[in-house]
Amino acid sequence: MTIPPPSLAERLLDALPQTQCTRCGYPDCASYAQAIATDHAPINQCPPGGAEGIRRLAALTGLAEEPLNPANGIEGPRSVAWIDEAWCIGCTLCIKACPVDCIVGGNKRMHTVIESQCTGCELCVPACPVDCIALENVTGSRTGWDAWSAHDAGAARARYDFTKTRRQRDAEAHSAVLEKKAEEKLAHLPELTKGASGEELERKRSVIEAALARARAKRQPPG
């Protein structure tokens, strides 16, 4: 069996640092790579990749190198997130914002960043309602790809793919639970509504049917 060569989008994705920081203006590195390949998105929108990243994208696309667009950020050293545990309220918002599942903790419990897995995406910082997350420079004066490596990118990409799959699976399981509850309520609506009838009964039925439709829609694969 002959394996087809990787598409341009796949090769562009391999050239991106996989921090999933969204500073390029796209939801993840794969979306940015696809946009460059098919929608002619500019190649100078990735601050974590910096000048070297632009050179790599230029070589793959045949486009001219351009300075990093300041609207997307600046090239800098790699940072990792650090949580001031004395101020953490355990809201879990940073956990939900992290694209690589490198923040551990539970609801109303202290959170901690696994430093070795943090990509420095910075997405957890604005998510924190009590401003207890700071960024710490861990690469000194080294910036862009000098502060990152192919191994780092590969590991981050694997963690992101796993996290994305797990969250999708969890969302589907949650929707399935909601769907089952809505079906049970519809099946026993008269007794659950304590004798409601007429317009009131129909109003409650429509509310449950709408919730059921939302739950089913979330379980449908994207078309």
pLDDT tens profile 159-194: 999 999 999 888 888 777 777 777 777 666 666 666
Among 40, 44, 19, smallest CA distance to 120 is for 19
Q: What is the CATH number of domain 79-138?
A: 3.30.70.20
Is 80 exceeded by the pLDDT of residue 202?
Answer: no
Which tens digit of pLDDT belongs to each residue from 95-141? Answer: 999 999 999 988 878 899 999 999 999 999 999 999 999 999 999 99
Banded model confidence at residue 207, pLDDT cuts 50, 70, 90 = confident
CATH C-level class of 8-72: mainly alpha
The bridge status of strand 79-83 relative to strand 103-104 is unpaired
List the chain domain ranges.
8-72, 79-138, 171-219
**Residue-level pLDDT at 223:** 47
- As a whole number, mean pLDDT of residues 54-83 equals 97
**Residue-level pLDDT at 171:** 81
